[in-house]
Amino acid sequence: MAESVTQPSDLVTAIAAGLAARSPFDPAAHLRLTMDGSQVGWLPRAHADILRRIGGLLGDAGEGAVTLLPGCATFDARSAALATLARQLADAGHVRGWRNELFAVTPALEAPAHAVVERAAARFLGLLTFASHMNGIIEGQRALWIARRSPAKAVDPGMWDNLVAGGMPHGSHPLETLVRECDEESGIPPALAARAEAHGVIEVLREIPEGVQWEHVHVYDLSLPPDFVPHNRDGEVAEHRRIEPPALLAIMADRAMTVDATLVTLDTLCRRGWTTSAAPPMPA
């Protein structure tokens, strides 16, 4: 009996099912977190209870919404209050993976930030965050480079990721973030990294153990020379792998790649028509 062969279309169906299973979000279980009248996050109701016990952090905004730091009116005052809160939450074990990196509290990337907060506390509060992810495409080949996250990472340790991926700190630009992460994570020189092509933004909104991942992921593709071999410089990547679409689809179908990286990878595979066949068509 001939062995059955898993078709790429079947793998894509499995990937879609996996993404849905790993991306639950119940709006009723969350409060719209606002600041200066604009929504900056989705606060889990259980986390709102923790903040209310601390006191002075939330105000009622009606219609299932709360205001963050209603008693603070300036960027500096809000940022100072959030710095104190982040440390309290960390000391109580509610947040982990302290980064010493500041994320903006803002309704949009292009909007002025209302405040900044330690990155580790962003998902506890369900804040809107921003990231840059890049598919490393091997020039002239039907293949990509991907990276496995270090087992020491606070989030998604040991999982497969895009060749380069990084959160966007306050005051940074998507391409600027990408160029910096390219150098640190894969040893890609800035002149080459700056040639990355932008392919839009993917929104991620899902419940996670830390709280909520609400993220706008900026998608990039970069064509890499065939002889280029990535090398990690910051200790955040355990290994790099050159991989072709069939094996990559299988990794994603097995849910061994992070949710955001799966979305970004599937985006480029679909754009390039690499999800419809396991190999380039044979000549007639």
The answer on 198 and 98 residing in a single domain is: no
Position 278 scores a pLDDT of 40
The answer on 120 and 248 residing in a single domain is: no
In a domain, 281, yes or no: no
In a domain, 14, yes or no: no
Q: Which of 229, 202, 214, 201 is nearest to 126 (CA)?
A: 214
Phi, psi of 200 (to 5 degrees): 90, -170
Last residue of a domain, one of 87, 105, 126: 126
The answer on 135 and 86 residing in a single domain is: no
* Boundaries of domain holding 168: 129-271
In a domain, 227, yes or no: yes
Q: What span, in angstroms and rounded, lies between the C-alpha atoms of 14 and 250? A: 9
Position 8 scores a pLDDT of 74
Last residue of a domain, one of 65, 95, 126: 126
In a domain, 1, yes or no: no
Q: What span, in angstroms and rounded, lies between the C-alpha atoms of 37 and 62? A: 11
The answer to whether 193 and 179 have CB atoms below 8 angstroms apart is: yes
pLDDT at residue 280 greater than cutoff 60: no
| Residue pLDDT, tens place only, 215-271 | 999 999 999 999 999 999 988 899 999 999 999 999 999 999 999 999 999 999 999
User: Within a 10 A sphere around the Cβ of 51, how many other Cβ atoms?
Assistant: 21
The answer on 244 and 175 residing in a single domain is: yes
pLDDT at residue 47 greater than cutoff 70: yes
In a domain, 39, yes or no: yes
- How many alpha carbons fall within 13 Å on the CB side of residue 139? 10
Rounded to the nearest 10 degrees, the angle between the axes of helix 245-253 and helix 259-271 is 150
The answer on 260 and 152 residing in a single domain is: yes
What letter represents residue 66's amino acid? V
Position 2 scores a pLDDT of 43
The answer on 101 and 213 residing in a single domain is: no
The answer on 31 and 151 residing in a single domain is: no
Position 154 scores a pLDDT of 85
The answer on 201 and 112 residing in a single domain is: no
The answer on 166 and 97 residing in a single domain is: no
Last residue of a domain, one of 74, 109, 126: 126
In a domain, 72, yes or no: yes
In a domain, 99, yes or no: yes
Q: Is 126 left (phi over 0), alpha (psi -120 to 50) or beta?
A: left
Position 284 scores a pLDDT of 30
Domain count, the chain: 2
Position 219 scores a pLDDT of 98
| Residue pLDDT, tens place only, 184-195 | 999 999 999 999
Position 6 scores a pLDDT of 64
Average pLDDT over residues 12-31: 96
Q: Which of 74, 75, 76, 43 is nearest to 61 (CA)?
A: 43
pLDDT at residue 22 greater than cutoff 60: yes
The answer on 138 and 118 residing in a single domain is: no
In a domain, 244, yes or no: yes
Q: What span, in angstroms and rounded, lies between the C-alpha atoms of 11 and 189? A: 34
